[in-house]
Structure 1
Amino acid sequence: MKSDTHSSPSLRWDIFCRVIDNYGDLGVCWRLCADLAQRGQTLRLWTDDASALAWMAPQGCAGISVHAWPNEADLQALAKDTTFTVGDVIVEAFGCELPEAFQALIAQGPKPVWVNLEYLSAEGYVARSHGLASPVMSGPARGMNKWFYFPGFTPDTGGLLREPNLLEVPGRAAWLGTLPLDKPISPHERLISLFCYEPKALPDLLEQLSQADEPTRLLVAQGRPSAAVAAATQALRMPKIGTSQLHISLLPYFSQTEFDHLLRACDLNFVRGEDSLVRALWAGQPLVWHIYPQDDLAHHDKLHAFEVALDMPADLQQFHAVWNGLETGQLPTLSPVTLGRWRDWSHLTQQSLFAQTDLTTQLLRFVAQKR
């Protein structure tokens, strides 16, 4: 479905994001900012840790200015700055709460549209809660409304982030040739990307790949994935670069654009969190999602809702159950027939989601209705 990229008036946006323990929240917020900027909007991104943008978005983006999360002194200075005005739209991402002094600035001038951007889920409450008002009951902004905005996988939710130029990608072979790897990729190698936390089934995966009938190149992301692989190879007494039919290559830190290219180039993608899951869905290749684990096990219901909403094949659900620690036992075998069946599902899922209106287009319409 086409987006009405040029039909929305240019507005000023203040988007607030706190980095908790990984950079997925910041990644989502930057993608949203970049998509809005490319549609003629002007944005200030406020975050308590912008360090990951150095590799996530090294070129920056015209129309976006990045600011440190405002402390008390910053807010006092803003209150005295006659040139500063609050944006037409305030986005509070993922439950981060605005400082009361900034809420006071909001309350003083023309009332902006105040959006509470929530986490992505396929659970039933998403469609029921999307677009509802959340009255501010206390503090300097008392009496104003925030609006719940829920991303989702169905037309009755806020949709998924998808840029208008999403399908403009370089050739696979040419792009793979640019990767700074320890060993060139062979045309005969099966390519699997690994972006995960610390799954208990990782040693099982490495053993399975090392004994497979076809050679596999495992492309491992930096950070927790590479540390997890190092621990798994040590536990298996396997060389760090793999053995037999498996060769393990460590990737550099990728920009978001390069990460998207990686997902399209691979035959199977292990992803984690929210941002990389959505990008893997757009890649149209088989995927395995390592959902963010929660102490109360709420992620079990969230994973199941995702599987049901997208009509995931039974053997892929079983792989997810073991990979995410919901069940014990061996991982299902990643045979060519299995991956082919998962690829068909991924392609159909990509096309179905692509037929829905993207998140940014919907958000622009939502804001226009509330102004």
Structure 2
Amino acid sequence: MADVRFWDIFCKVIDNFGDIGVCWRLAADLASRGQQVRLWVDDASALDWMTPAGCEGVRVLTWGEPLDLATAGLDQQPSDVMIEAFGCEIAPEFIAACVRLEKAGGKKPVWINLEYLSAEPYVERCHAMLSPVQGGPAAGWIKWFFYPGFTPSTGGLLREAGLAERQARFDRAAWLAAQGIAWRGEKLVSLFCYEPPALPGLLAHFAAHGLAGQPVRLLVAPGRAANAVKAAFNDEKWLQPKENGGCPLSISYFDLLPQAQFDHLLWACDLNFVRGEDSVVRALWAGKPFVWHIYPQHDDAHLAKLHAFLDMLDAPPSLRAFHAHWNAEEPGQAGGTCPAPDLAAWQLTTQTARSRLLAQDDLSTRLLEFVAKNR
């Protein structure tokens, strides 16, 4: 087991489902490997449903102004590693306290800027680059840039130990029954998205044709996805299963799911629509066909990121075409007709990528090795 160290992870919440979700998974995974983690977050409200039981070895602390360093116990348990997640800047009073402790005979913490996930070529070039701190009390210290990624030359992907074994033991029928879903063998499709203009066309396609010749039950995440579905139909009653089987689409709306239960949702489905960094990685580990709704950026930088991701997957033309349709920002760009999902080809694509990525070290393993080398 790696030496026990104290990690301080700083997270500014922009999207409750994204930044805090990744930071919590990382904190919990490090704790499961014997590390002690202080997670500093400006808005921890999402953790109430995301991880209601908490995690031994992780303390969630309020990132307020000023920082409550006394409650954190930094003098008794100095920071060995401090991580600023997704470009946030660590609270200056925390850095000043670390400098004070170092001048009193302690060690400098390893300072890591944990970046966003991408499959673009720059990730390998920039991963593990150092940047000397130019000003402030920590002038002369080093900050390291750590890039998650999909190749051995990057920081890897979040993947807790035993994930594949847990998935192998998963009982789909029992889980669906526990959610109150009377599953009759329909194709199951999860929907976690923003408001894609292509959504009404997808719903119309399922309502007319089902999926792979079978009826579809759509399992819809709460919030923006549920609102988008309801807005598309206004009155969704006609979508409910009919006694004569006349409509091949039915819809179940979910409440907010803890992270482990969200994994179960992805494992249960035959096709997953996901959004955000955390969810696309979980969809990869689920090994089922999936479509990624990437967060749109004004300069279209997200499209280069999406294309690089599809290249990493070695995605077939049908999957590339569907992603182009799903990620179009205007109804006209999405086209008039929703392409039919090619489950067999997409399944092979995901399984092949999953097998390749499972053979690589995960993000926490690479972080632990990096810290041991640079401490």
Do these two structures clear the TM 0.5 threshold for a shared fold by scoring above it? yes
Name 1:344's counterpart in structure 2: 348
Name 1:333's counterpart in structure 2: 340
Is the Cα–Cα contact under 8 Å of residues 120 and 150 in structure 1 kept in the other structure?
yes
Name 1:370's counterpart in structure 2: 374
Cα deviation 1:232-276 (Å, max 9, x = unaligned): 112xx6537557111011012111111111111100000001000
Residue 72 of structure 1 pairs with residue 66 of structure 2: yes
What letter matches 1:328 in structure 2? Answer: A
Aligned to 1:348, what secondary structure does the other structure show? Answer: helix
Name 2:110's counterpart in structure 1: 113
Q: Which runs of 5+ in 1 are unaligned?
A: 1-5
The structure 1 residue matched to 2:257, chosen from 254, 258, 263, is 254
Name 1:3's counterpart in structure 2: none
What letter matches 2:339 in structure 1? Answer: P
Name 1:157's counterpart in structure 2: 154
What letter matches 1:35 in structure 2? Answer: D
* C-alpha deviation, 1:74, in angstroms: 2.7
What is the rounded CA distance, in whole Å, between the counterparts of 1:207 and 1:88 in structure 2? 54
Is the Cα–Cα contact under 8 Å of residues 14 and 86 in structure 1 kept in the other structure?
no
* C-alpha deviation, 1:71, in angstroms: 1.3
* C-alpha deviation, 1:365, in angstroms: 0.1
Is the Cα–Cα contact under 8 Å of residues 210 and 242 in structure 1 kept in the other structure?
no
What is the rounded CA distance, in whole Å, between the counterparts of 1:179 and 1:240 in structure 2? 22
What is the rounded CA distance, in whole Å, between the counterparts of 1:242 and 1:17 in structure 2? 41
Q: How many residues align?
A: 355
The structure 1 residue matched to 2:52, chosen from 47, 58, 71, is 58
Aligned-residue identity in percent: 55
The structure 2 residue matched to 1:15, chosen from 9, 13, 16, is 9
Aligned to 2:179, what secondary structure does the other structure show? Answer: coil
Residue 245 of structure 1 pairs with residue 260 of structure 2: no
What is the rounded CA distance, in whole Å, between the counterparts of 1:117 and 1:263 in structure 2? 26
Is the Cα–Cα contact under 8 Å of residues 6 and 77 in structure 2 kept in the other structure?
no
The structure 2 residue matched to 1:185, chosen from 183, 186, 201, is 183
What is the rounded CA distance, in whole Å, between the counterparts of 1:328 and 1:241 in structure 2? 23
Residue 229 of structure 1 pairs with residue 221 of structure 2: no
Q: Which runs of 5+ in 2 are unaligned?
A: 102-106, 242-246
Q: Could you tell me the TM-score, scaled by structure 2's length?
A: 0.91
What is the rounded CA distance, in whole Å, between the counterparts of 2:281 and 2:347 in structure 1? 16
What letter matches 2:205 in structure 1? Answer: Q
Q: Could you tell me the TM-score, scaled by structure 1's length?
A: 0.92
Aligned to 1:67, what secondary structure does the other structure show? Answer: strand
What letter matches 2:163 in structure 1? Answer: L
What is the rounded CA distance, in whole Å, between the counterparts of 2:131 and 2:295 in structure 1? 26
CA RMSD of aligned residues (A): 1.7
What is the rounded CA distance, in whole Å, between the counterparts of 1:153 and 1:29 in structure 2? 18
Cα deviation 1:320-350 (Å, max 9, x = unaligned): 001001643132113xxx2111111111111
What is the rounded CA distance, in whole Å, between the counterparts of 2:275 and 2:31 in structure 1? 26
Q: Residues 99 and 10 of structure 1: is their aligned pair in 2 closer, same or farther, counting only changes over 3 Å?
A: same
Is the Cα–Cα contact under 8 Å of residues 194 and 225 in structure 2 kept in the other structure?
yes
What is the rounded CA distance, in whole Å, between the counterparts of 1:134 and 1:173 in structure 2? 51
